[in-house]
Structure 1
Amino acid sequence: MALTEADVKKQIKHMMGFIEQEAGEKVEEIDAKAEEEFNIEKGRLVQTQRVMIMQFYEKKEKQIEQHKKIQMSNLTNQARLKVLTARDNMITDLLNEARQRLAEIAKDPASYSALLEGLVLQGFYQLLEPKVTVRCRQQDVEMVQVRSRFNKNIHIYKEALKSNVVVKIDQERFLPSEICGGIEVYNDNRKIKVSNTLENRLELMAQQMMPEIRVDLFGANPNRRFTD
């Protein structure tokens, strides 16, 4: 039985509807798959960026922490240097005050003459030479050349070392008058010198006693492991 034109149109319409439905379903499937892939890619990108941002701020945090440590170290070192400088200035002021007080020693003739006697004898022991020259300030010449003191020192030296010593006082070149006092002792050719000026004795004493001075002024160093 031949199909009428109406039947053909109806079948064509039915086929077109089927094709459109199938195409719609395919489009929906493609859209769904695209949406899924989009969401997966979006999630991957978001996670990647989140990790990158976390790494960036973690790096920044470490840099800031490192910078803080450096700053703290610098500030600590600066503070330590200021403390050390202040301590050194205090010790310098203390030694300067001690030097100023040295001048008072020479104002007491009895004490100063006894001190000169000891300094001269010590110079003999340090040189251990048969001939020595003693140099002093010009204003101290009379006090140094008192015969009784020289004879006493020579006698003590002879008794101690069983050796003689010939002593001469330098009458041509004197120690600077501005020093606080004391003497210098030379061997015969003046190539060896023992400096027993009051300033020199103070300097030697300060060097030897500096650890004790620091402890007395500032207390024991808590960071020092050994005290001997």
Structure 2
Amino acid sequence: DLSDIAALSRRAWSLFPSRVVGDRSIDLELPIPGRSGSRRIGKMNDADVSKQIQQMVRFIRQEAEEKANEISISAEEEFNIEKLQLVEAEMKKIRQEYERKEKQVEIRKKIEYSMQLNASRIKVLQAQDDLVNSMKEDAAKELLNVSHHHHILNVTHHDHEYKHLLKELIVQSLLRLKEPAVLLRCRKDDAHLVESALESAKEDYAAKANVHPPDIIIDHKVYLPPAPSHHHAHGPSCSGGVVLASIDGKIVCENTLDARLDVAFRKKLPEV
């Protein structure tokens, strides 16, 4: 810095008793301690002038070196501080980026785990549904055998069992409806069994409900669909049972074997 060098020069010149102008020396008056007034210093030769100049140069150089050293140390400290700040800032960015990517990886893992878990649940539910449907098909075949025995095999024992089953289904339906008069529908093949079991069903219902026996009208115009067969595999079918309704048709109790099977298996379906 030129201002610092100029200040050092002025300080250096102030240390010497004379100044050199051109090739001449100028005498300076210095105060004499303990005396009043001053004394004059004699003229300086070239050797003394050169010596003083060398001393002044060394002084200026020393001061300049110290100043330069201070500037260098200060600059290095500022550099280290700024470098540390930059390093910390970059490290913070790296940590934030790492945390962001780590969160993304965790979220991706959770999504993949959830998808795999859902896929496993769907497989389990599908297996349960297939098993339930298979069991339902087997049960439907067994129900079909129950209602077919009385007219296919023509066995009196099975005929009596199915007739008793029809009577119990009628009584149960009457207890559900609690109507004084009802309309009954059955399969055409079961009409004679229903007619033979009707009076017994009325008496059982009247005894259980403590009411007068109801009027039961068998619908001979509209029958329930016939039992399933190979000829009507895709059409409506009924494995047996009865359907009772109020006279106005507003209340219906479907008590067929197929309906009861659906209710039983609906409770066993897997929950989603």
**Matching residue of 2:123:** 82
Percent identity between the two aligned chains: 37
Counterpart CA distance in 2 for 1:33 and 1:132 is: 110
**Matching residue of 1:124:** 174
| 1:150 aligns to 2:191 (yes or no) | no
**Cα distance, 1:6 vs. partner?**
4.2
The two structures, once aligned, show a CA RMSD in angstroms of 2.5
- Give the TM-score normalised by structure 2: 0.66
Pairing partner for 2:215 from 148, 166, 184: 166
Counterpart CA distance in 2 for 1:48 and 1:191 is: 80
Question: Unaligned stretches of 5+ in structure 2?
Answer: 1-41, 151-158, 227-236
Pairing partner for 1:67 from 101, 108, 112: 108
Counterpart CA distance in 1 for 2:175 and 2:82 is: 97
Pairing partner for 1:49 from 90, 100, 111: 90
- Give the TM-score normalised by structure 1: 0.78
Pairing partner for 1:24 from 58, 62, 65: 65
**Matching residue of 1:223:** none
After the TM superposition, which of the residue ranges 173-182 and 94-103 deviates more from structure 2? 94-103
Q: What does the per-residue CA deviation read over 1:25-44, in whole Å, with 9 as the maximum and x for residues that have no partner?
A: 32122212222222232223
Contact 2:182–2:215 under 8 Å retained in 1: yes
Which amino acid in structure 1 is aligned with residue 119 of structure 2? Q
* Alignment: residue pair count: 209
Contact 2:132–2:265 under 8 Å retained in 1: no
Which structure ranks higher in relative contact order (CA pairs < 8 Å, sequence separation ≥ 6)? 1
Q: Secondary structure at the match of 2:255?
A: strand
Q: Secondary structure at the match of 2:148?
A: coil
Q: Secondary structure at the match of 1:107?
A: helix
Counterpart CA distance in 2 for 1:72 and 1:152 is: 62
Report which of the two has the higher share of helix. 1
**Matching residue of 2:23:** none
Q: How does 1:88-127 map to 2 (within 5 A)?
A: 88-109=129-150, 110=159, 111-127=161-177
Q: Secondary structure at the match of 1:186?
A: strand
**Cα distance, 1:198 vs. partner?**
0.8
